[in-house]
Amino acid sequence: MLHAALTHLASARRVGLFLAGFTLVIALEAGCGGLASAPPSQPPEVVRPAVHRLNPQVDQVAATPVPQLISNSLRRKAEEMVVRVRNINCEGIATGSGFALDPHTLLTNRHVLAGASQLEVSTWDGHDYQVSTAEVGALVDLGIATVDGALPRAASTYAEPSAGEGVTVVGFPLGGPLTFSSGRIVDFVDGVSLGVPGKVMRLTANVEPGNSGGPVLDRRGRVVGIVYAIELATGYGLAIPLDTLRTLTRAGGFQGVPACGSG
């Protein structure tokens, strides 16, 4: 294809030269030949287009490696998806984490919502929402709340995790700013002794009070579980994987939020 294109170009140039010469002969025979005008004493001024500097952020993005761009994009999605949950109850104020299932619904833990006389939700950048309705799982440490207003971003992808897989816990430990804690899935254990009647995954990612209800994300930003506790004997974070959540939710359904003091 390249050879054909070059051949075509060469032919076109020969034809052009021939036609130009033919025109010149006709002009001379017709008595129209003459001297060309003298070249200008000064070369014509070349006007160059104005140079517009790019926004420094554009330069920075252009120079950023693709894997880092992907990582930054996943981080921003997690920031917009995860929320802080504030539980105002008869014993004071407690905080936990949660993440959006859709623009108006968030998922968290049963114990994050339990006993609340008022529930408030806030995003990483300081936007606040009031909770209008809430329910908790009958058999699993799971809670669902509906907020007034639209949450910034909902979780869109989910996956089943594997032991040894790298993961990140996202949440608001101790009620402070949003944090990202990386680690790996150690293993899956029977959760009966850990307060969950089903499979539980143990994590090396750092988990603190306030992380409860936050998502566990794989390296592609997919939700693979929900944090609910810390195993005191090992210091591992504990999370409920998606298949356990589905099984226990189908078996027990949801009920109203327990009153303050009832657990």
Q: 133-162: per-residue pLDDT in tens?
A: 999 999 999 999 999 999 999 998 999 999
Residue 207 confidence class, pLDDT cut points 50, 70, 90: very high
Share above pLDDT 90 across residues of the chain, in percent, rounded to a whole number: 67
Q: Where are the domains of the chain?
A: 73-252
Distance CA 213, CA 193 (A): 20
Q: 10-67: per-residue pLDDT in tens?
A: 444 443 333 333 333 333 343 444 454 566 666 667 666 665 555 565 556 556 565 6
- Residue partners of 199: CB distance under 8 A and separation at least 6: 188, 189, 190, 191, 241, 243, 244
Residue 199 and residue 71 in contact, taking contact as beta carbons nearer than 8 Å: no
- Topology classification of domain 73-252: Thrombin, subunit H (2.40.10)
72 compared with 91, residue with greater pLDDT: 91
